[in-house]
Amino acid sequence: MSTHASKTLETFPNPHPARDYHIHMEIPEFTCLCPKTGQPDFATLILDYIADQACVELKSLKLYMWSFRAEGHFHEDVTNRILDDLVLATAPRFMRLTAKFYVRGGIFTNVVAEHRQPGWQPAPRVELGQFAGNSNTRG
């Protein structure tokens, strides 16, 4: 695999396709250029997804993210484009991309884009709490 920026996203087979499990990735060094000024825009991207048959391979994801460094994109466009490319590569049950752009002109911009496989519904969230009562008393 190359160490140069690339638009190619590689995948590998989901090792547990029968289970919905949450994959969470944080990409704190995303950069692209402002299409109006040419100045760099910096963001932390947060990728959350539930894979179906394929998972994204991390090195190819890193090289894919690098490929935007010299390109001009509006925040809304680049967030949706990345989500579209990831969905095309992995066909997940669910995917959410949150792009948290750093301040530009006194404004922070957060863009959240989501994809759901038709018909997929998440399992109800399970909240685990503490035992109701004093754990120091025994009866």
Strands (E), the chain: 11-13, 22-33, 40-50, 54-56, 94-104, 107-116
Which of 20, 32, 41, 52 is flagged as catalytic?
41
Known catalytic membership, residue 41: yes
Nearest in space to 49 (alpha carbons), one of 77, 76, 9: 9
Catalytic residue among 20, 32, 34, 55, which?
A: 34
55 is a catalytic site residue: no
User: Which H or E run includes 81?
Assistant: helix 75-90
Q: Could you list the active site residues?
A: 34, 41
